[in-house]
Structure 1
Amino acid sequence: MRSVRLHAVSGVCAAVVLAAVAGCADKADSGGGGGVRVAASDTACDVSKKDLAAGHLRLDIENKGSKVTEVYVLYPDDRIVTERENIGPGTKAKLTAEIKPGRYEIVCKPGMKGDGIRQQVTVSGAKAAKRDPDSDAAVAAYRAYAQKQADETLPRAKAFADAVKAGDLGAARKAYADSRLGWERTEPVAESFGDIDPKVDVREDGLEEGQDPEKDWTGWHRLERSLWQDKKITARDKELAGLLVKDLTVWQKKVGQAEITPTSMANGAKELLDEVATGKVTGEEERYSHTDLVDFKANLEGARQAYDLLRPVAVKKDAALVKELDTRFPALDELLDTYRKDKTSYVYASYDTVGKADRKELQDGVNALAEPLSKLAAAVAG
């Protein structure tokens, strides 16, 4: 869940995040002469090319400013094509994504706030990104996986909502983390529907400027605050429980329409690790319930699913990368499971009981996986 969000948008788009990806061939980027250079600063967003070729797009991003920034490629109606968050001052990042002919905007958001500094670009040509049968099979299987997660989330969310509506604090607390598993596993797909994510998964500090937390804050985390901090269920909470189910039903119906590509799967897997690093390991995501390790597990499972499906594609181009990822995924999973209290269910230690040194160990494990995982998009781009 992003702590800073775009304004609500409609429609469906690629569920992708801009990973730090290296090594794309020139023929697979815009124009055949290297990636599009994006120089982001506190006051500017300069791009080296504004007329791009359809197919595989690569952005070479450099943050020359003093603030952390993020870079988006957006459709004209602000739907997200792809994105890269948390680009620190003085650092560089790369991304690989598939892009079709049309008009787009490249947006830099210094401070990761506001509407950003925008540059219009045009993508032309009938070039299609090259695919092999394994890529098509991976996309089809991941689409089915994302739908299954949404289908399974709905009854769990209803069980959670029913407990809230009944005023049963204990039952609602027990059902809370379980109701979020499917969402957390497929969060990049879920976040691609920009009008739903801010309704169901926003934290209080992620509200848009001018929004009133008591009137405008909805979703899981608003209810989480009531259940653990306020320790009571109000009439407003019961209304919000019903609204949560309503919004998740819309998401469940939209999932099958999402545009999914091999690169969006790879970038989405990296995004899930970024979510762990910026929200779960820090304890910010579940700040009232301290169920962060459940979210951590779900994020890791979702990333692993995308990788496993893309593995037959990646191994053809970068066998060494696959060998490393085959080691890193189980290592992080094994470390996480040392905090698991029940091996048959998702019961983990409360995160407020995890000490500073142990959190650092978890963070190091995430970083060790995230670095090679950032190269997966380039390995499946063709």
Structure 2
Amino acid sequence: MTPRIPLAVTALAVAVVALAGCVAKDAATTADALTVTSDDNTCGVSAAGASSGTLAFNVNNTGTQVTEFYLLASDGLRVVGEIENIAPGASRTLTVTAQPGNYLTVCKPGMVGEGIGRAAFTVTGDQVAVTGADAQQKQQAVNLYAAFVKDQVEQLLPAAKAFTAAYAAGDDVTARAQFPQVRAFYERIEPVASTLGDLDPKIDYREVDAVAENLEWTGFHRIEKDLWVPAADALNADQVTPAWQNWSPSTPEQRAQLGERLVADIGQLYDYVHSDDFQAALDGQGIAAISNGAISLLDEVATKKITGEEDWWSHTDLYDFAANVEGAKMSFSFVKDFASATGAQGATLVERIQTGFASLENELATHGSLSAGFVPYTDLTAADKRALVDQINTLAEPLSRLTGTILN
């Protein structure tokens, strides 16, 4: 990354689906509860659906590892509800309010990775009216936001281990394929690391930034330069310094060390987002900072990613671009109901933002996707870049007014 002013924790542009636990309907009784049986290899839910309203999932851990249970939106990213730290032999209950729609259930033994037993879960019935104390609804939003961040880091850590293992072993073909996919998890939650002193520079600084700040260059982009060896006449990211000046490819021993350091730094991030300090920081900032997160990540795209300066050697910038946009959209979807509740102007603003995201995503989709892959950034023409900039600018204006609308 280029140097940036440290953002508040809630400048994260990652968020979750419409609020759970913020509706009016009688609380689910014990008899109504769904049963979830989680062990080291399976995640069984007693039913594949339920009626809309307040749902209770009694999660029983019969495995050997501490586990957690998620109810996800159908996109597999947005967290509707989660319960964690369920010890072997223990049971805990997740209570959420679910609107009609399609969801996914998943368990995560060991609390790392993408989880197991992912299964469809359908909620039928009528839309449930939003009620309850405003403060309670906002706290629920913060809690679910924290859950999404933790989920992304839980997937980032094992993905980074696999990536660095391939890199250390000299399997550059595998490592190149994994590089942009692993980074997508980080790009959705990157501003968290920015609050932890030098953690983001260790994980994600470009060479020119590390040199400018007299820091040892480590992390994703140090590995990137090994994986995409620059041509002898290539320039560095400052477009002045020859890429080979004072640099040579890493030895196998150096590769192993760089990989271990990246995993250790991501492990530090993992520890932080699972700490009381992280939750306290989010609680202190509140709902407005989440909307600011959407604005901040879109600004990141507009000022950094669109220039192609992020992934200087691999030209995988569009993956980072897409992850940032996805994170900004998540944050927006997390707080849009608060904006709509302010009245007609708020509802109009929400509609404009939704349209802006759809148009930007459609434009980005002409170049690929996170799942199927993107074309190299160097393949984009000036017209392609201009079209993306136009869509970003169209979205940025209404999005910049989101926080003020929520606070009115």
Distance 1:13 1:351, change over 3 A: closer
Q: Secondary structure at the match of 2:350?
A: helix
Q: Secondary structure at the match of 1:180?
A: helix
CA distance in 2, matches of 1:143, 1:321: 25
Residue of structure 1 equivalent to 2:197: 194
Normalised by the length of structure 2, the TM-score is 0.60
Q: Residues 203 and 218 of structure 2 are in contact (CA less than 8 Å); yes or no, is this contact kept in structure 1?
A: yes
1:214-236 Cα deviation digits (max 9, x unpaired): xx101101111111135955232
CA distance in 2, matches of 1:322, 1:281: 25
Pairing partner for 1:361 from 360, 372, 387: 387
Q: Secondary structure at the match of 2:170?
A: coil
Distance 1:15 1:206, change over 3 A: farther
Write the mapping of 1:1-382 to structure 2, written as runs, cut at 5 A. 1-4=1-4, 14-16=9-11, 132-207=135-210, 209=212, 211=214, 216-230=216-230, 233-234=250-251, 235-256=253-274, 257-258=277-278, 259-260=281-282, 261-317=286-342, 318-340=346-368, 345-382=371-408
Q: Secondary structure at the match of 1:254?
A: helix
1:332-380 Cα deviation digits (max 9, x unpaired): 111111111xx68140111110111101111111111112111111122
Q: Secondary structure at the match of 1:181?
A: helix
What is the aligned-residue identity percentage?
A: 37
Normalised by the length of structure 1, the TM-score is 0.64
In the TM superposition, structure 1's runs of 4+ consecutive aligned residues that sit over 4 Å from their partners are 230-233
1:133-191 Cα deviation digits (max 9, x unpaired): 33222211111001100100011111110011101111111111111111111222232
Q: Residues 187 and 272 of structure 1 are in contact (CA less than 8 Å); yes or no, is this contact kept in structure 2?
A: no
CA distance in 1, matches of 2:366, 2:222: 30
Q: Secondary structure at the match of 1:281?
A: helix
The residue identity in structure 1 corresponding to 2:310 is: E
The residue identity in structure 2 corresponding to 1:370 is: A
Residue of structure 1 equivalent to 2:246: none
The structure whose Rg is larger is 2
CA distance in 2, matches of 1:346, 1:250: 30
Higher mean alpha-carbon deviation, 294-303 vs 226-235, is at: 226-235
1:65-96 Cα deviation digits (max 9, x unpaired): xxxxxxxxxxxxxxxxxxxxxxxxxxxxxxxx
Residue of structure 2 equivalent to 1:126: none
1:95-116 Cα deviation digits (max 9, x unpaired): xxxxxxxxxxxxxxxxxxxxxx
> What RMSD, in angstroms, separates the aligned Cα atoms of the two structures?
2.3
CA distance in 1, matches of 2:193, 2:267: 12
CA distance in 2, matches of 1:184, 1:311: 22
CA distance in 2, matches of 1:165, 1:200: 17
Q: Residues 221 and 311 of structure 2 are in contact (CA less than 8 Å); yes or no, is this contact kept in structure 1?
A: yes
Q: Residues 134 and 312 of structure 1 are in contact (CA less than 8 Å); yes or no, is this contact kept in structure 2?
A: no
The residue identity in structure 2 corresponding to 1:229 is: V
Residue of structure 2 equivalent to 1:21: none
Residue of structure 2 equivalent to 1:50: none
Please list every run of 5 or more consecutive structure 1 residues that lacks an aligned counterpart in the other structure.
7-11, 18-129
Residue of structure 2 equivalent to 1:25: none
